[in-house]
Structures are given as C-alpha cells and as structure tokens.
Structure 1
Amino acid sequence: MSSTPISPAVPGMDPRFAPSSQPPKFWSPPPGPEKPACPYQVDFAVKIKRHTPPPPFGDPYRDPGAWRERSDLHLHSATQTEAVLAYLPLERENILSASSCPPTTLTILKALAMANGRGAQLVVCSIFDPIYYPFEAPEVTHVPDNVAWRAGCARPITLACVPQKYFGSWTFTLPISHMRRKQQWSIRLVLMDNIWGRSIQSVCCDPAALSCYSEPDRLDILAVVLDSVVRHRHAGVDQRDLASRDAILRPHSSALAGNKQPLPQPVIIDYITAVCIRPFRDGKRPFQLKELPENNMQFFWNTSFADFQGWTLSKWDASANLRQQWFKERLGGNAASQYAPVTAKLEFADYQRLSTTCTS
C-alpha cells in the first residue's frame, strides 16, 4: 500500500505518513461461471455404488495420509471449480465386490430447514461435494479455503468414528465443464442408519411424553447411554459431545411377556466432533489396552450431566454426592465385573447447593 509523506510537525521528528486514497484490497470468492447450479434438490436421483474410503486424515490426526498439496495451485487466484478439480478424490483399493454390493439409487425426498429455531432434523445421508462448500475459510475472513481437502478428510473421519454396520461409504459421478471440456466428477457420500425415535431432550420438553418414564426407567436408560460411551472409547471412538439431543430413544418392535412395553433402546448420534483414537501413530491409549472398557463410574464421576437436566433426578442438581452414590450402587459390586478395575481414588463430593427463601 503506497503512502504520501507529510512534512514533520516538529523539526527533528520522523516524517508522518498519510494513507493513500486507495483502500486495501481483501480477497473474496471470485465469480465462478463454470460452477453448476446445486443439483441436490427434492426429487434429485442418482445411481450410487459402494466405495472404500482412505484412512482418516486431517485435524485432529497428525498423519496427512494420502493427501498431497499441489504447489502449482494458488487458491487466491483460482476459482472454486479450479480449486476442486485440481485434486482428484482420494482412492483406496476397493475390497467390496460389485456382486455383493450392487449399485442402488439415491433419491432426495425432503429439503432441510435452515436458520435457528427449527429443531433437530433427521438426516440419513451426507454428501461431501466440495464444489458447494463455502470457499471462504470458516476460521478467518478474506482467506480461501482448500475445500477439496476439507471434503476429503471429513468423510474418512466420519466413517472411522462410527460402526460400519450402521454406515456405508458410497460414490457417484456428475458431469461438470472446465475450460470448455466436459468431464465426470466423482463425489463421495455416507449413508446412515434411519433411526426412528425421539431424543431425550425432546422427551424432556414434552411433559406428557416424560410422564411415561418413571425415575428408575430414566436412570436405566441413562446407564445404557453412559455404558455406550465407554465402550465406544474402548473400541477407539470418542464422540466428545454427549448431550441429551444426541441420545435417540428407539422403540422396540415387540412387547415383553404380559404385553409390557420394553424400554426404548438409546442410540447415540452426531459424530461431527468425534475422533477415531486407534489410527494415531502412538497406538492405543492405556484404557484401550485393557480387556474390558473403563468403568463409566470412574469416567463420569465428576460429571454433572447438566444437559440431561429433567431426565436425571432433580435432587442431583443440588447434590453431586447423591449422583455419585447412584454410580456406586449401580456400577459397584458385581456390576463392576463388566468393566476394567477402577484405578483412580473416587472421593465423594461434599458440595451441596443450598436453597434459600427470601421473605419481606
């Protein structure tokens, strides 16, 4: 940025500078005439086939995996289409035979609602198409983002952090034009298990629905949720964001003897911030080396479960000691044999919230 010198106000002082009349220029996404209109609308249908993803890479993994930066690509001067087509989607030897996994058709049935206050929505497919990612970096303004890298690392991480029986990696192609040449562009996606049910958060916001669960029933379901967390960690997956909105209560299809309806099965969802622990270079963590998972009494001993307020006992809000007593009764004794031995000294909290009444 050029400047115009001004005579010093006082002899002997360094000259002052006045900014030029030209304002600074910041980067912004350039026009993209080759970028096609987003096809992912209601009634969009495409043939998809199974695909084996590469190992996970990108944050928080230290190994870049198969990803290689291109020194000849300058994001500040490229269009988004150029930035995407410069990188071919990463491949891995496909171990899935075509006969066992025939192609199928994906159809978009409904649009997602945008903006705040719309509540949770059921999503059973994530399409990782960097052509339609925001080109500006989410962490800082006026800086381009390598959207091909962002889409490339997001899918392997997603797949590495979830059970394969519920999820699958797929691929399809769409036509795209670049420099007056038509070509096929490969796009990856993940299909997810369609889990019907209400979240614990949703039930807590509905007094009629919440009344269907007794206090013992709610604690039984909470125990299953916490058990799932430590078993996931032992298997190498840390969900890192346990919340009542992420625990879906899936009803059982059949009743018990005497037509008694069994408790729903809680299923943890939302692995957007999860990490796959196993691929780290330093190998498994100490809690993974043990034959059994860590006792969730030890893992959650000092957790308040504030996000599960309304589902947990109201008296827990005033006394951490009562919550810890429940852990001891629930996961001590014979129940402890399901987990690795407790290695930490678990001390009962003496904190108790005091309620006061003001009178005039």
Structure 2
Amino acid sequence: MNSQFIEALNELEKEKGIQKEIVLEAMEAALISAYKRNFNSAQNVRVDIHPELGDIHVYARKTVVEEVEDDRLEISMDAAHELNPRYQEGDIVEIEVTPRDFGRIAAQTAKQVVTQRIREAERSIIYELYIDRENDIINGIIQRMDGKFLYIDLGKTEGLLPLKELMPLDNFKHNDRVKAFITKVDNTTKGPQIFLSRVHPGFLKRLFESEVPEIYDGVVELRSVAREAGDRSKIAVHSQDSNVDPVGACVGPKGARVQAVVNELNGEKIDIVRWSADPREYVANALSPSKVTQVIVNEEDKSTLVVVPDYQLSLAIGKRGQNARLAARLTGWKIDIKSETQAREEGIQFDNLNEDTVAEDHEKRESETEM
C-alpha cells in the first residue's frame, strides 16, 4: 500500500463516483478480519490507513486493569504507565502490532474491497438510471429465453419480460428488437432487476404519448385506458384547448398516428372516445361504436342503465360482453344495457330520439372512434 493506491482511489472517485473515504472505511474493516484470520488473533484491533500516503498500521486495543486476566484484551496499570503515566483504569491503550508481511495481505484485501465497491457502485448507478424510467417504454434486443422469461438486453443491464406479459400474437426470436413497458425496478443483492410488460395498460398509454405530440405536450390528456391486450382497447381523451379535437389528434392525418400504435400491438383494435365530466355523455361515448338512446345515472352506487335501440343491443354489449366490459372499466361506472323494447316492458322511462337525431349521433360517434 502506498500513495499510488491513494491516487487510484482518487481517480476511482472521479470516474465511478465512489467516495474514497467509503472505500478506506471498508478496507479497514476488511483488514481487521484479515488480520485476525491470518494471524490467529482474537484480540481487539484497529486498522488505520493514512488517507494521503496509504500507510497501514494495525493497533491492538487493550483495557487498562488492576489485574490482568486476558493479556490479549487487557493491560496492567504498570505496563500502561510505562507507555504513558496518564493512563487510568478503564482507559483503552493502543499498541502497534503491524505484521511485517501485512502489506501483501493488505494488497489482496484492497483488490477485493475495491472490486466489490465498483460492482456495488455500478449496480447503484444502473438502479438510479432505471428507477426513474419506471412506468415508461424502453427498447431492447432479445438475448435469450427460457420457460418463464425473455431476457432483454437494455444496453447497461438486462430486462425480464415474463412470457405471461406477452400479447397473444407476439412471436419474438433471438436478436429481435422489442419495445416494452417497465412495470417494476427492484434493487436486489444480485443487482437491479427490471421487469417488463407488453400487456399493461400503461404500455398503450405510453405508445400514444410517443405518437401524439399533443398528448406529450399536455394539450390533450389521456384520462383513462381499458385494455384486453391483443384484442381490443378503449382510451378516453380530453383536450385542454377548445380549438384542439382530442380524438382527431389521436387518430392523426389519415389515421397515421393510431395506425402506428395498432401496428406495434399486432392489430389490436383501439376505440378512441371523448372523455366527459358528465357520466351520461361519458358512458354513451364509451359504448362506441354502438348508438345510445339514453343513459340513466344512479349516483349512489355509481351505476348506469343504458337504453339502446333494439338492433344495437348486441353491438353495445359486444362479443362475449367485451364492449360493455371495457366501457365499464374505462369510465369506472357499472353499466347495465337494455334494448328499448326491454326498457318499455320493464316500465323504464326514457326519451325517444327521432331517427334523424339517432343517425346524426351515430355518425358523430363513429367519427370519434378508430377500430
């Protein structure tokens, strides 16, 4: 150990951000263990490393007592006074016991400690880098796969994409590029673990943010997402600027923006609906592409009764109830759908819209929806 080692620690501090004092403290603790292990010592010792010169000294720490019972831990009053007449009973005396060949042991220990600290620092840097990207999209390359995960090369580290977080039509191979959503970043003893998903609703949201400048800029707000990955999704959007059509912004010129998202999701159908603070309007919009005659709201249990034309009932409910299910998840309201005939038979009062109004309303909703 010498001044060159200290210079190396200074460089390490600049390049890796590892504080020299932390390394020296770790080395001192490691050298105490090394001393006891290599010299069969059970006594209390302290290791001191000069912060500028790198010189190492080992001191045995002994308590001043009247009668010595264990000379490895205690020193008599007379012996202590030979060193310094000011010592009193109970004081701690330090006696240098640095072995001649301790430099070799110190060099080996220093290498181990520095290597460990570099590894810990790199893990910490990676963790700090990716914890800030939690709930964001990331690109990577598939390196390998097993029965549980796809292992994605993210550049500085590896991401874990569970097979259950893949969409039904995803069919990736080794060295394929993949885009995924960071769901969680764990700081484990083996280093940061980054978990990814392609079915998370946040993935759809981030894709729209990347394709629609108005969302990224905050002019258009994506209020809610309901998704059945690989099949169909609904998003509710709202504009902070009355001059900006939120649905049109998400659809894009000739449907280019929404089509880019659909392509990334392997053809997943996406309904884009207009958000509204009025639950009647919001629920009606969410049931697109079906027409809605009337929405009756029950504020107490946050439920709605939706009346639709008879010929629209199956469309409103959707295949296996999917349209109604997604609309309920999107809005946060329970939705019970009945045809006009069912509503009349049950004595439910609703407003009958004339055919012109219905046709106009349907045309408007279809223009706000991208399948």
One fold, TM greater than 0.5? no
Q: Which structure carries more helix by proportion?
A: 2
Which structure shows the higher strand fraction? 2
Using structure 1 for the length normalisation, give the TM-score.
0.24
So what's the TM-score if we normalise by structure 2?
A: 0.23
Larger relative contact order (C-alpha < 8 A, sep ≥ 6)?
1
Larger Rg: 2
